[in-house]
Chain A
Amino acid sequence: MSASAKLASMKPPGLFVYAILYLAFLYVPVLFLPLFSFNDSAFVSFPLAGFTLRWYRAMLADGALGEALANSLKVGAVAAISATLLGLAAARALTRYRLKGTSTVLGFVSLPLFIPDIVLGISLLILVNALSTPLSLSSVIFGHIVLCVPFALAVLLSRLEGFDPSLEEASRDLGETAWMTFLRVTLPLALPGIVASLLLAFIVSFDEFLIAYFLAGTDATLPIYIWGELRFPAKLPIVLALGAAILVVTCLLVLVAEWLRNLGRARTTPLAVGA
């Protein structure tokens, strides 16, 4: 306590102002989205013209938008589930077996995090063309799984590293097979991590544009649809309404993911052993 108090008293002056400016820079532009989505004017400019819900009504009435949203949900769900399953298998292998070259494997799996999406998008496009498969939502899903696995692995790895490997041994010792041990011990203990991984991978896929742009055929995902709509100034407020709605849902998802992560952490943190 006293150490942290000392640190706090040592902080340079002006840091508070900097923090406020930083947060303002980050969030004020985002706040324009909901603000103008309720503005009763086709032009996105001040002064505000009055309150309206018509952009939201127009959004709900737009069939192409609904289709794009459905596509994005489909792609996101399949990519998130696939990436989490692959990530879980990899995380288990990396944490539970004495493998050679663990860090090399980890490096290669994480590489998509560092490769620019545009490079990844083009190379995946070349691959899909080389396999002479038509571009479709499936190719987008494929690209998104590649993109999401490193995120899933990072979340699940920290989760599996966090719990005592002798818990799994204890289960075997008490008569359960490797498979039943996975179901009765590993899965319940990894569950918060699995849910967090699903949510994170879903969000990554849901707002991904570049790879989807390269790999989508005629079926647009939501970001591609929004990009297309931006050409029509009159439709901008509808996009803003959509953006505001996505913002709210995304915030909720992130909050749920964080809450689950903390819930899991509190549960498996080893207690101080003592009388």
Chain B
Amino acid sequence: MNAFLEIRDVSKRFGAVTALSDVRLAIARAEFFSLLGPSGCGKTTLLRTIAGFEQPDEGTIFIDGADVTAMPPERRPTNMVFQSYAIFPHLNVFDNIAYGLRRLRLERAELERRVSEALAMVRLDGYGGRRSDTLSGGQRQRVALARALVRRPKVLLLDEPLGALDRRLREAMQRELRELQRNLGITFVLVTHDQEEALSMSDRIAVMSEGRVLQVDSPRALYERPASRIVAEFIGTMNLLEATVTEGAGSDAVCNVPGLGAIVVKDCALAAGERATLAIRPERLVISDGGRTSGTIVSSTYLGGRTHLLIALEGNGQPVAATIDSASGAGASPGARIKLDWEPDAFIALPD
């Protein structure tokens, strides 16, 4: 891939704490890229290193072919939307957005044109004269976005920009951000701990933990084919079952899971006799009269359109989670005996 923003072997320590450990990423032009991970995983440090607020101890950062590692933040072709939005309280909306244009020494008319263009872009037309302390959270977020985008950065960095908004507004802003990114064709790098947010907005996601990048993939690939237990457990819910490999045949393997019987797993390098962890998403387990294995419903949680079940398997001490359509699961009440089934490719093997 042709890397537009490249992070090459970047490490960063704060005293005894390793915040980033040999991070390597290649992000394409106009890509919507997310850094996902729990708090303290190094995602914000990485974003701040790209912006120039932190100096890496080792490694290099390239943007559009240029090494920016030694550049101070004010000279980098990046702009950031801060988690706190960092709207200047002593300036009104217009002056906040025009703040970063001072050095361009534009004529007044041109300056006004660019600011009102930016305001229109975030749908805040006519808000220029408003005092910044009269804005709502969503409006502050838009001003922060306009202030960053008005400088036409090569890379826009977003540090948990939607975290402080309520759910409805957050979802609307997610759609808007995505649309904006597509229309502008600017590379976005988003930091978030919210997996749904990352899945719904990103072209690709890097899952981070303890300063390392665990996996970089499209949302679908991350969800359906996580490369490790940590990724599988961090994104969505995953049932993990211990298994023994009975047959290793080329790229496929046959595994025996107590209570479920023989399961064929595709694309894994496992040899007969090895132990493995098999993983299946709750929605890939289906209740069906002709199911291959039976169990008892332990608990049932109604979530509107879907119902979440916890099922005790016969012959396996590890209960599994299943998500079913509420409309179809009329009889799924605790204590009921049911039969479970799954599609042939529903299970994947994870390295321990």
Interface residues of A (CB under 8 A from B): 163-164, 166-167, 169-178, 184-185, 188-189, 267-268, 270-271, 273-275
Whether A170 touches B140, Cβ cut-off 8 Å, given contacts A185-B88, A275-B166, is no
Judge whether B73 and A189 touch: CB under 8 Å: no
Judge whether A169 and B53 touch: CB under 8 Å: yes
Nearest 5 CB-CB pairs, A to B? A174-B100, A170-B86, A273-B137, A273-B164, A166-B86
CA distance A177 to B75 in the complex (A): 9
CA distance A188 to B99 in the complex (A): 14
Judge whether B137 and A274 touch: CB under 8 Å: yes
Q: Measured between C-beta atoms, what is the minimum distance from A259 to chain B in Å?
A: 17
CA distance A166 to B102 in the complex (A): 20
* Least CB separation from B53: chain A residue: A169
Judge whether A170 and B103 touch: CB under 8 Å: no
Contact among A164, A170, A185, A271 with B80 in the assembled complex (CB-CB below 8 Å): A170
B147 adjacent to chain A (CB < 8 Å): yes
Judge whether A171 and B99 touch: CB under 8 Å: yes
B179 adjacent to chain A (CB < 8 Å): no
Judge whether B136 and A274 touch: CB under 8 Å: yes
How many A-B contacts if CB must be within 8 Å? 87
Q: Kindly list chain A residues whose C-beta atoms are within 8 Å of the C-beta of B137.
A: 273-275
CA distance A58 to B116 in the complex (A): 65
Secondary structure of the B contact surface, majority rule: mixed
Judge whether B51 and A173 touch: CB under 8 Å: yes
* Residues 49 to 94 of chain B near chain A (Cβ within 8 Å): 51-53, 72-75, 78-80, 82-84, 86, 88-90
Q: Kindly list chain A residues whose C-beta atoms are within 8 Å of the C-beta of B282.
A: none
Q: Measured between C-beta atoms, what is the minimum distance from B296 to chain A in Å?
A: 44
Number of residues of chain B lying within 8 A (CB) of chain A: 35
7 extra A-B contacts, CB within 8 A, seeds A174-B99, A176-B74: A169-B73, A171-B88, A172-B74, A173-B78, A174-B79, A174-B151, A176-B100
CA distance A184 to B88 in the complex (A): 10
* Least CB separation from B134: chain A residue: A271
Can you offer 5 A-B residue contacts whose CB atoms are under 8 A? A164-B84, A171-B99, A173-B74, A177-B72, A185-B88
B120 adjacent to chain A (CB < 8 Å): no
Q: Kindly list chain B residues whose C-beta atoms are within 8 Å of the C-beta of A172.
A: 52-53, 72-74
Contact among A169, A175, A177, A275 with B151 in the assembled complex (CB-CB below 8 Å): A175
CA distance A177 to B102 in the complex (A): 12
Q: Kindly list chain A residues whose C-beta atoms are within 8 Å of the C-beta of B100.
A: 173-176
Q: Kindly list chain A residues whose C-beta atoms are within 8 Å of the C-beta of B53.
A: 169, 172-173
Judge whether B88 and A167 touch: CB under 8 Å: yes
Q: Measured between C-beta atoms, what is the minimum distance from B141 to chain A in Å?
A: 9
Q: Measured between C-beta atoms, what is the minimum distance from A163 to chain B in Å?
A: 8
CA distance A170 to B159 in the complex (A): 12
CA distance A274 to B136 in the complex (A): 6
Report which residue of A166, A174, A271 has the largest number of chain B beta carbons within 10 angstroms of its beta carbon: A174
Q: Kindly list chain B residues whose C-beta atoms are within 8 Å of the C-beta of A274.
A: 136-137, 164-166
* Residues 128 to 184 of chain B near chain A (Cβ within 8 Å): 133, 135-138, 140, 147-148, 151, 164-166, 168-169
* Least CB separation from B169: chain A residue: A275
Whether A169 touches B82, Cβ cut-off 8 Å, given contacts A176-B103, A268-B89, is yes
Q: Measured between C-beta atoms, what is the minimum distance from A17 to chain B in Å?
A: 43
CA distance A79 to B78 in the complex (A): 44
Whether A175 touches B169, Cβ cut-off 8 Å, given contacts A164-B84, A170-B82, A273-B137, is no
Whether A170 touches B90, Cβ cut-off 8 Å, given contacts A175-B151, A271-B133, A275-B137, is no
Q: Measured between C-beta atoms, what is the minimum distance from B123 to chain A in Å?
A: 15
Judge whether B136 and A189 touch: CB under 8 Å: no
CA distance A189 to B91 in the complex (A): 10
Q: Kindly list chain A residues whose C-beta atoms are within 8 Å of the C-beta of B133.
A: 267, 271
CA distance A167 to B80 in the complex (A): 12
* Least CB separation from A274: chain B residue: B137
Q: Kindly list chain B residues whose C-beta atoms are within 8 Å of the C-beta of A171.
A: 88, 99
CA distance A274 to B170 in the complex (A): 11
CA distance A170 to B80 in the complex (A): 7
Contact among A173, A185, A270, A275 with B73 in the assembled complex (CB-CB below 8 Å): A173
Whether A189 touches B89, Cβ cut-off 8 Å, given contacts A170-B82, A173-B80, A274-B137, is yes
